[in-house]
């Protein structure tokens, strides 16, 4: 009996030490790992991008925007611009600030930025007691860890088929580097994101209803304006762009109706206060699309439209109309 107890103790201690060791190794690797988003942007902006340019920033919620359609729509109105969809998964304003010098060097006429509730989720980030002079700095280890996103997280609830296919594709492509070109770049001028055929699978309504419940998940907290790092970074980004005579357009990205209905009232109030504050400080209209498109058959999950599909052309046209309101002035 005593031998069994001692054996259990030894096993438990061994498992605990192995766990601590594994976590330590993981943290060390994360601390020295290169920031792939930064490296991708640095490589892109080092190119010679001739002509008049419009950049679209945001996270995966803007993947469905077709920059070629937007360019064509502007051309029909007599404006010749090359439009780039520079969306990156889980991207936020703090990351954009780190490459702001690259952006400015390209002298875009307009920067369009798509924001959402998720843009301002805390994700473990620290609260700021007062807005700092600048949030331009290399990411801290805690920030790197807080932005890790697995390809099979909430999407599993929204669209199980999409999440399963995407997960296998993600790990297969990461390990082999075997990307299919026609799937890797669904549109021209989309250098930072990769979409696969799974992004063409509309979610069933029953799955969307399940996934919508994630809007009320306790981890999705939005800190108030005066304590929100990402919001402070967004305002700094806009100020810098304006100082270099770059027009800035802000819009909210579409969400599914049943997801929006489950967002806690307090979160909605904070989000709306951010939109109002932006309009007041910068004297422009924030274009609000977050509660506009609720058609079920265009949704892969609660906040992602089907990519590279004619079904979502209206989204690109809507953004083109926003741009026209500024370049026609």
Query: Residue 89: pLDDT above 60?
Result: yes
φ/ψ (deg, to 5) at 268: -65, -40
Domain that holds residue 1: 1-33
Judge if 158 and 86 occupy the same domain. yes
What is the mean pLDDT of the segment spanning 222-227? 88
For residues 170 and 188, state if they share a domain.
yes
Domain CATH code at residue 172: 3.40.50.1110
Residue pair 300/154 in contact by the 8 Å Cβ criterion: no
Query: pLDDT: is 73 or 128 the higher one?
Result: 73
Q: What is the DSSP string of 185-237?
A: -SSTT-TT----GGGG-PPPHHHHHHHHGGGG-TT--B--GGG-HHHHHHHHH
Q: Can you tell me the distance from the alpha carbon of 21 to that of 232, in angstroms, rounded to the nearest whole number?
A: 37
Count of structural domains, the chain? 2
DSSP assignment letter at 51: S
> What pLDDT, on a 0 to 100 scale, did the predictor assign at position 21?
76
pLDDT at 287 exceeding the cut of 60: yes
50-84 CB burial, b ≥16 within 10 A, e <16: eeebbbbbbbbbbbbbbbebbbebbeeeebebbbb
Q: How far apart are CA 229 and CA 135, in angstroms?
A: 8
Residue 12, pLDDT score: 79
- Record the tokens describing residue 209, joined without a space: 């209803």
Q: Averaged over 156-175, what is the pLDDT?
A: 48
> pLDDT (tens digit, 9 = 90+) per residue, 8-38?
777 777 787 877 777 677 655 555 455 666 7
Query: Are residues 91 and 168 located together in one domain of the fold?
Result: yes
Average pLDDT (276-287) is 96
Give pLDDT, residue 152.
32
* 220 and 322 fall within a common domain: yes
pLDDT attached to residue 175: 43
Residues 19 and 116 in one domain: no
* pLDDT interval class at 252 (50, 70, 90): very high
Per the rule left: phi > 0, alpha: psi between -120 and 50, beta: everything else, 298 is alpha
Provide the pLDDT for residue 216.
55
Rounded CA separation 142/221 (Å)? 17
Average pLDDT of every residue of the chain: 75
pLDDT tens per residue, range 46-62? 888 889 999 999 988 88
What pLDDT shows up at residue 249?
98
Based on the fold, state whether residues 80 and 2 are members of the same structural domain.
no
Do 93 and 197 share a domain, yes or no? yes
Q: How confident is the model at residue 274 (pLDDT cuts 50, 70, 90)?
A: very high
Both tokens of 165, joined, read: 């296919």
Angle between helices 313-327 and 67-76 (to 10 degrees): 50
Q: 275 with 252: CB under 8 angstroms?
A: yes
Let me know whether 152 and 270 are in one domain.
yes
pLDDT at 273: 97
46 and 129 part of one domain: yes
Backbone angles phi, psi at 71, to 5 degrees: -60, -45
Structure tokens at 41: 């942007």
- Categorise residue 66: left if φ over 0, alpha if ψ from -120 to 50, beta otherwise: beta
On whether both 9 and 155 belong to a single domain, the answer is no
pTM of the full predicted structure? 0.74
Same domain? For 3 and 123 the reply is no
Same domain, 22 and 158: no
């Amino acid at each position: 009996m005593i031998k069994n107890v001692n054996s259990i103790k030894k096993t438990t201690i061994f498992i605990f030490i192995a766990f601590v060791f594994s976590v330590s190794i993981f943290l060390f690797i994360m601390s020295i790992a290169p920031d792939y988003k930064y490296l991708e942007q640095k490589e892109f902006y080092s190119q010679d991008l001739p002509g008049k340019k419009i950049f679209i920033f945001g996270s995966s919620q803007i993947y469905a925007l077709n920059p070629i359609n937007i360019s064509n729509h502007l051309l029909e109105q007599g404006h010749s611009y090359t439009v780039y969809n520079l969306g990156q998964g889980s991207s936020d304003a703090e990351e954009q600030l780190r490459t702001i010098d690259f952006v400015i060097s390209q002298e875009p006429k307009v920067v369009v930025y798509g924001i959402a509730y998720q843009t301002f989720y805390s994700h473990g980030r620290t609260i700021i007691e007062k807005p700092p002079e600048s949030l331009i700095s290399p990411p801290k280890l805690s920030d790197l860890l807080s932005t890790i996103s697995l390809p099979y997280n909430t999407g599993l609830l929204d669209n199980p088929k999409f999440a399963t296919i995407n997960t296998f594709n993600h790990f297969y492509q990461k390990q082999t580097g075997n990307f299919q070109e026609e799937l890797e770049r669904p549109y021209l001028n989309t250098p930072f994101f990769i979409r696969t055929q799974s992004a063409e699978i509309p979610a069933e309504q029953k799955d969307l209803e399940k996934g919508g419940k994630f809007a009320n998940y306790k981890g999705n907290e939005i800190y108030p304006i005066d304590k929100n790092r990402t919001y402070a970074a967004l305002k700094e980004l806009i100020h810098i762009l304006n100082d270099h005579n770059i027009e800035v357009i802000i819009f909210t990205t579409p969400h599914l109706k049943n997801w929006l209905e489950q967002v806690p009232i307090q979160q909605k109030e904070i989000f709306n206060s951010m939109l109002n504050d932006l309009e007041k400080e910068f004297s422009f209209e924030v274009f609000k699309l977050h509660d506009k498109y609720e058609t079920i058959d265009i949704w892969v999950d609660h906040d992602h439209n089907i990519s590279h599909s004619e079904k979502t052309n209206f989204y690109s046209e809507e953004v083109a109309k926003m741009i026209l309101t500024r370049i026609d002035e």
